[in-house]
Amino acid sequence: MTVIAMQITLIVFTTAVVLACILIFHKLGKILLATQQVKDDVTATRRECMALFPQLHALAALEKKLDLPQPLPPMRGWAGSPDFLLTVADAILSRKPGTVVKCSSGVTTLVDARCLQLNNSGHVYSLEHDKSYGEKTEKMLQQYGLEEWATILHAPLIPRNGETPWYDDNALPENLEPIEVLVVDGPPYDTAPLARLPALPRMLPRMAKSAVVILDDAAREAEREIVRRWRQLAPDFSVNYLHHEKGCAVLER
């Protein structure tokens, strides 16, 4: 074999080795990525399972407390989580309020109405800016036989003097008794920055001296900022943060 032929053979062999190494490293990279993805999926699954257990426990307690003839509608996601609904139910059942106001409507309104029915007194008024969603809540209340304990008020979001848009709370009855329980889980987060900030300023003049405010999604920084501003406005309210799935802040005075 000539020197040139040997050189060509060496070049071909070296190229083949380099290509083989590149292929091996490429395969190893894909294996590492796949392994990391599996690890991330396992971590996410473990986290979800850990979050699910307390929700199942809260749901069981809530179902027993409400003693409805049929199961509650689906929760979590946009709807309140079972732990939040259980907190709301406990507040209404223990305080026996005459007037409950709910910012938004849905499963929480159903829970409010059932608790008032169990108390055999009181009424819940839900401010709902989405008319079609409000109609769905009305049908749900009828399905559970709770329509006499709740009123869904169509209340579009209205900007006032450049402030955060808020429900048209003129929809509330003029002769409304002082609000003893205010449940805030609307408007939706993406409606405006600090979308739920107006709840306390707008409702404070209508609230009873011993009122309680229950704010959902309090794990979010926006809601934390809202609570800070509420405390500045009404320092006589104490705040208790509950470790719920989406966070919950309970303000009492």
Give per-residue pLDDT as tens, 85-110: 999 999 999 999 999 999 999 999 99
For the chain, the domains span 1-66, 68-252
Amino acid 29: pLDDT: 66
C-alpha closest to that of 86 among 112, 104, 105, 106: 112
- What's the topology of domain 68-252? Rossmann fold (3.40.50)
Note whether 234 and 253 are within 8 A (CB): yes
Residue 236, pLDDT > 80, answer: yes
- Looking at the chain, the whole-number percentage of residues with pLDDT higher than 70 is 80
Tell me the CA end-to-end span of the chain in Å, nearest whole number.
99
Residue 12, pLDDT > 90, answer: no
Amino acid 78: pLDDT: 57
pTM, entire model: 0.80
Amino acid 55: pLDDT: 80
> pLDDT confidence of 76, banded at 50, 70, 90?
low
**Torsional sign, CA 83, 87, 88, 90:** positive
How confident is the model over 130-163, as pLDDT tens digits?
Answer: 999 999 999 999 999 999 999 999 999 998 887 8
Q: List, in sequence order, every residue forming a beta bridge with 125; answer none if it has no partner.
A: 101, 151
